[in-house]
Amino acid sequence: MKMQHTYSIVFQPNQEIVMQLKQYKNMLADRISWFHSKNSLAHITIAEFNASDEQLPIFTKQVERIADSESCRRNFH
C-alpha cells in the first residue's frame, strides 16, 4: 500500500489580513497566555483528506475545477 499523507483544504485571507490577525493573536496571548491556535496562520479549514503522492494531483485538479466553476466564481468573487 502506498504511503498516504493528510491534506487540508482551507480558505485563507490575503496577507494583509493574515498579518493583522497575527497581531491580534499576539495581543490575546499577552493577556491570556498560550492558546491552541496561537501560532497558526489565519484560515478556515473546509475539508481534510488522505492521499498518496500519486493521488494528490487528482485531488488538486478536482479542487481547481470546482474553484474555476461558474457557480464558485459567482458566489465568491
* Rounded average pLDDT per 10-residue block, the chain, 77 residues: 92 95 96 92 95 96 89 66
**Extents of the domains making up the chain:** 4-76
pLDDT value at residue 70 = 74
pLDDT value at residue 67 = 86
pLDDT value at residue 39 = 92
| 26 phi/psi in degrees, rounded to 5 | -65, -40
pLDDT value at residue 75 = 66
pTM greater than 0.75 = no
